[in-house]
Chain A
């Protein structure tokens, strides 16, 4: 199984330009709202028509502007999960699942029966979508797609409209339900947690362009650029000047870093995750930051400090506050002691970036 997409579409001032080819089973597309990720999925499904380019799954061409091929959505065999599930409100569960099946009555009954069992919908056969909970609706939507045996499944922000407490469960449920699905699945989302949990391969998009592409874990570990790092949830950045192979001056934070690993030429910024700082009491160690606290937020299971680096001299409005987040267990430890003197940047957590 492999999908290949290479399309362009212009909508007013917005230009979508995306190209990728992959045989990964679970593909994530991460990007802010309006970056073109949904449009990409809709183009694959045939709901939107790109201006040019081509789309194919294995050797089956779904769209090719040059050859004037544009298969109808009905002919593409692509499963599409909408954010609101798009269950047909006047049909009950059984009718919804069987809606698209062009089988004999007998074959249809059997297929629907199979899906009811597999997605644990027993007892809900005669219910209408309005009478189902969010989780049940999700299962019906997935059952309806699976009954149709698609070559590929597209998930368009399936969790973004859900309550926080439901989201976790449904994400987990969705993943286990998709486990025995052989084909490729593309998940589009603006939530990095969702994407990280779900995908083997990741595309990061912004303003209709692909910013980065790679294995999900690799991209989170080494995003390469500030923009990509920001998208993976990194909160702290400082411009940097490479002094030599192992030393770096952080111009915004006013400190020097000394690293074991070689610093690639072209490095002009660093990123550091808010959870990765290590508080230090007493002597200043290597790669430490002296800081002043600007504000503290208490969350149920987390404390968030907003700090500014003392070494940067007087604080100007131009410098962004640095986020330092500590989990519950650390919070308990910290509360017994005076405030730490320094924050240490762990070498393995320092992301070397370019702007």
Chain B
């Protein structure tokens, strides 16, 4: 057993965790920002914008990966521009992992945040305004805390989805050990080699980490949310 652990390449775990954390942070802010903008739109504009923002969740990850590949390929305008002007490479890099995970997980954060924001009593916002609070203050001190449970569940789901991302990541970032090889891709790879012991090990690790994080977030947010009533 010790030998197995010592000989094991731990890089997939590090890559997956880093990807999950970074993608979640990006989605957290971007998702809330988008949600805040969308709820102010007219219902027609809302239908269109909401559809576009939710799309990555609806179509298969491989399709999302394919589209991302088309956009960021170093043989296409945007990819060429990023590579030559800014020295940024997306395909087959860790950045690709983050981008894929962010795009796929984004709708979860956005939709949860939006649902939570729409539940908020508009009078709370009006009260903040008549009391002279700036829009920034109202958002961060009233809206976000009041929408806390919805935001928290959005964040948890986003993290879970980002950490486990497989389809789009394999298309865009590939499975380069030590660089873009995430746990999900490692599991798929070792199973193809018939190495069920390593696959099983990673499955257990993913299970424990996922549960641990969700449990932790639930504990932290649960104890701080005074406005939740049991029913």
Cβ contacts B187-231/A at 8 Å (1 or 0 each): 000000000000000000000000000000000000001110100
Q: How large is the interface on A (under 10, 10 to 19, 20 to 34, 35 or more residues)?
A: 20 to 34
CB-based contact B124/A88 at 8 Å: yes
Q: Is A90 an interface residue (CB 8 A)?
A: yes
Closest chain-A Cβ to B152's Cβ sits at a distance in Å of 13
Closest chain-A Cβ to B133's Cβ sits at a distance in Å of 5
Closest chain-A Cβ to B135's Cβ sits at a distance in Å of 8
Which of B33-41, B49-57, B142-150, B159-167 binds A? B142-150
Closest chain-A Cβ to B221's Cβ sits at a distance in Å of 12
Closest chain-B Cβ to A29's Cβ sits at a distance in Å of 18
Cβ contacts B65-93/A at 8 Å (1 or 0 each): 00000000000000000000000000000
Given contact pairs A74-B132, A88-B142, A130 touches B226 in the complex (Cβ within 8 A): yes
Closest chain-B Cβ to A43's Cβ sits at a distance in Å of 12
Q: Is B130 an interface residue (CB 8 A)?
A: yes
Closest chain-B Cβ to A334's Cβ sits at a distance in Å of 49
CB-based contact A74/B121 at 8 Å: no
CB-based contact A90/B227 at 8 Å: yes
Q: How far is B142's CA from A90's CA once the two chains are assembled, in angstroms?
A: 7
Q: Is B63 an interface residue (CB 8 A)?
A: no
Given contact pairs A99-B141, A130-B226, A90 touches B129 in the complex (Cβ within 8 A): no
Q: Is B127 an interface residue (CB 8 A)?
A: yes
Given contact pairs A89-B146, A90-B146, A84 touches B229 in the complex (Cβ within 8 A): no
Which of A10-18, A75-83, A115-123 binds B? A75-83
CB-based contact A86/B141 at 8 Å: no
Q: How far is B229's CA from A231's CA once the two chains are assembled, in angstroms?
A: 40
Residues of A within 8 A of B127 (CB): 80, 82, 86, 88
CB-based contact B126/A74 at 8 Å: no
CB-based contact B145/A100 at 8 Å: no
Closest chain-A Cβ to B46's Cβ sits at a distance in Å of 20
* Interface residue count on the B side (C-beta < 8 Å): 21
Q: How far is B133's CA from A100's CA once the two chains are assembled, in angstroms?
A: 5
Q: How far is B195's CA from A118's CA once the two chains are assembled, in angstroms?
A: 74
**Closest residue of chain B to A154, judged by CB?**
B130
CB-based contact B130/A99 at 8 Å: no
**Closest residue of chain B to A150, judged by CB?**
B130
CB-based contact A89/B126 at 8 Å: no
Closest chain-A Cβ to B130's Cβ sits at a distance in Å of 4
Residues of A within 8 A of B148 (CB): 90
Contact of A72 among B124, B129, B145, B146 (CB under 8 A): B129
CB-based contact B130/A89 at 8 Å: no
CB-based contact B226/A82 at 8 Å: no
CB-based contact A90/B134 at 8 Å: no
| Residue from A73, A88, A102 with most neighbouring chain B CB atoms (10 Å) | A88
CB-based contact A99/B146 at 8 Å: no
Closest chain-A Cβ to B192's Cβ sits at a distance in Å of 50
Q: How far is B138's CA from A72's CA once the two chains are assembled, in angstroms?
A: 14
Q: Is A345 an interface residue (CB 8 A)?
A: no
Q: Is A273 an interface residue (CB 8 A)?
A: no
Q: Is B8 an interface residue (CB 8 A)?
A: no
Closest chain-A Cβ to B125's Cβ sits at a distance in Å of 9
Residues of B within 8 A of A9 (CB): none
CB-based contact A128/B130 at 8 Å: no
**Could you tell me which A residues sit within 8 Å of B by CB distance?**
42, 45-47, 72-80, 82, 84, 86, 88-91, 99-100, 102, 128, 130, 144-145, 148
| Further contacts, 10 of them, CB under 8 A, given A42-B126, A47-B130, A74-B129 | A47-B126, A74-B132, A77-B132, A79-B130, A86-B127, A88-B142, A91-B141, A91-B145, A99-B133, A102-B132
A-B contact list, 6 entries, CB within 8 Å: A73-B130, A80-B127, A88-B127, A90-B146, A99-B133, A130-B226
